[in-house]
Structure 1
Amino acid sequence: MTSAVQTLDLEQLREIIAEVLDVETADVGDDTSFTDDLEIDSLMALEVVVVLEKRYRVKLREEELKQVTCLRAAYGLIAQKLADPR
C-alpha cells in the first residue's frame, strides 16, 4: 500500500506551477516572483495555492498564503507542511 503523503520534488513543483500559470517551465525560476516577474494577479495566486494544497494534501493558513511568492518559498512551505502537517 502506498502512502497518501506526496513526495515533494522541486522540478515537479516547478512544472505544476508553470502549468497552472500557463507559462513555460523555464520561466519559473527558483526565485522568480509570481506577481512581479510573472505578473499574476491574486486570483491566479489563489489558484496556485489551491492546486498545491490538493496535490500535496496540505492546508495553508491564510497568513501562509502570502509566503507563496516564488518557487523556492512555495517549496519551503510545502516541505515544512509535509514534515509537520499540524
Structure 2
Amino acid sequence: MSVTPQDAAATVMPSLDELRGVVAEILDADAADVTDDADFMADLEVDSLMALEVVVVLEKRFGVKFSESELRQVTSLRQAHQLLDRKIPAL
C-alpha cells in the first residue's frame, strides 16, 4: 500500500514486526535474518545503494521525510523503527 503525503496524517506507526516485514521485502531477505539490531551493511551485506532504497521506501510508505543526518541513523531495524516513531505523529 502506497501512502501519499496527503495521507501522512492517517499513517499508523508500524510495529517492529511489521517494519521487519517491510525491510525484508525491500532487501529480498528472509524476515528472520532482519533481527532488531542486525546492521544492514555489516550483518546483512546490504550495499549503500540498497540501504538508500530502504530509506526511500520507508519515506514513501509512511509519508515521512528524513534529513541527511537522519539517513545515516538508519543502519538497523531498531534504529529505523525509533526514527519512524519520532516522525509519525501519534493518533
Normalised to the residue count of structure 1, the TM-score between the two structures is: 0.89
Residue 74 of structure 1, aligned match among 57, 60, 80: 80
1:5 shift after superposition: 1.8
* Structure 2 counterparts to residues 1-86 of structure 1, below 5 A: 4-83=10-89
Aligned residues with identical type, % of pairs: 54
**Equivalent AA in structure 1 for residue 69 of structure 2:** E
The number of residue pairs the alignment matches comes to 83
- Deviation beyond 2 Å, 4+ runs, structure 1: none
Q: Could you list the per-position Cα deviations for residues 36-66 of structure 1 after superposition, in whole angstroms to 9, with x for gaps in the alignment?
A: 0001111100100011011111000011000
What 5-or-longer segments of structure 2 have no aligned partner? Answer: 1-6
Contact persistence 1:6–1:57 (CA under 8 A): no
Distance 1:42 1:82 in 2: 25
What 5-or-longer segments of structure 1 have no aligned partner? Answer: none
**C-alpha RMSD of matched pairs (Å):** 1.7
1:7 shift after superposition: 2.8
**Equivalent AA in structure 2 for residue 30 of structure 1:** D
Higher relative contact order (CA 8 A, sep 6+): 2
